[in-house]
Amino acid sequence: MNSNSYHYPKQANYRIEIIIAILTFLGVCFIQNSLDIRTVFQIVLGAIGNVAQFIRQSFETIIINPIVEMDGSDMVGVLLLATAFSLAVRRVRQYLTSSASGACACPSCGEKLHRIHRTRGQHLISKILCLDSACLHCEKCDYNSLLFSNKVAHQA
């Protein structure tokens, strides 16, 4: 819990040690090899360039290449996952629409439910699931229910 507050001074000390080591190394280099400042900048910029290239290469190896070099079995895997996902969405839709049938009365007190405005989150959920939804509210016991129904498709 207080690991952050414990580790922070340790990291700060460590950072200072790195700076001391770099300064010492550079100082020795300047004295022994009489390096001019341009060479030092070239070394530093070269190191930064190498790091940037390493990050770019790792990014390509881990993320870009698997997508580009995807073979048949990977394609099948992705297809299976996509199918499973669409089936799961369909199952959730079925569950939501079947459980909502005949929910015009409050399940806790039996009072008639009134339709109220949906929240932004409820609106988003029904958008994602491609379902019509209505938020029903009980004035007597403050019960809220989100009712889903299949969208009525327009006949051509």
Q: Where are the beta strands (DSSP E) in the chain?
A: 114-116, 131-137, 144-150
Report how far apart, in Å, the C-alpha atoms of 28 and of each of 34, 36, 51 are: 9, 13, 24
3-state SS assignment for residue 74: helix
- A 10 A CB-CB count for 46 gives 10
Q: Closest distance between Zn ion and the C-beta of residue 100, in Å?
A: 16
Question: Looking at beta carbons only, is 82 or 105 nearer to Zn ion?
Answer: 105
Q: Closest distance between Zn ion and the C-beta of residue 133, in Å?
A: 19
Stretch that binds Zn ion, among 62-70, 73-81, 102-110, 148-156 (CB under 5 A): 102-110
Our finding on whether 140 is near Zn ion (CB under 5 A) is yes
Our finding on whether 143 is near Zn ion (CB under 5 A) is yes
Question: Looking at beta carbons only, is 129 or 145 nearer to Zn ion?
Answer: 145
Q: Closest distance between Zn ion and the C-beta of residue 122, in Å?
A: 19
Kindly compute the dihedral angle of the four CA atoms of residues 86, 125, 146, 100, in this order, to the nearest 10 degrees: -10
Our finding on whether 79 is near Zn ion (CB under 5 A) is no
Stretch that binds Zn ion, among 39-47, 72-80, 109-117, 147-155 (CB under 5 A): 109-117
Kindly compute the dihedral angle of the four CA atoms of residues 72, 78, 81, 87, in this order, to the nearest 10 degrees: -90
Stretch that binds Zn ion, among 41-49, 81-89, 122-130, 141-149 (CB under 5 A): 141-149
The whole-angstrom distance between residue 100's C-alpha and the CA centroid of its chain comes to 31
Q: Could you list the residues that contact Zn ion (CB under 5 A)?
A: 106, 108-109, 111, 138, 140-141, 143
